Amino acid sequence: MIDIILFWLGCLLVVLGGILDVVAAIGINKFNNFFLRLHAATVGTIGGSVYPLVGIALISLSLDTPPTFKFYVAGVSLVSAAVIALISPAGTHILARAAYKSGEVRPEPIVVDKLAEVDKK
């Protein structure tokens, strides 16, 4: 019974990842600001790769295969998901900060610019 639940939960996560990838692709094309597009790309990275990798791990654990195979696939999937989940936001932050500091892109419309206040000090 638990195998069936793990399998369908994994399938749900894989489908959710595909949907989030489509939403991210639409956001990248629809948004008119660099920072909003960068946010949409990060949604695609986290939602479109981490969730399906966790889903693959759950699916592999539910299959009737030798334990070495299923634990290997689940372990590699979970480690990959953890690395992506840790590195992607940091990389996006570094990219956004560098773009802002270079002055090539400006956030539009800007209501409050906390980074400009920090740079003045």
Domain count, the chain: 1
**In the numeric block, which tokens belong to residue 52?**
């399906």
What does pTM read for this prediction?
0.83
pLDDT tens string for the chain (121 positions)? 889 999 999 999 999 999 999 999 999 999 988 888 999 999 999 999 999 999 999 999 999 889 899 999 999 999 999 999 999 999 999 998 898 888 888 777 777 777 777 766 6
d(CA 88, CA 28): 17
Considering only CA atoms, which of 49, 58, 43, 54 is closest in space to residue 7? 58
User: How buried is 50 (Cβ within 10 angstroms: 0-12 exposed, 13-18 middle, 19+ buried)?
Assistant: buried
* Domain extent at residue 61: 2-120
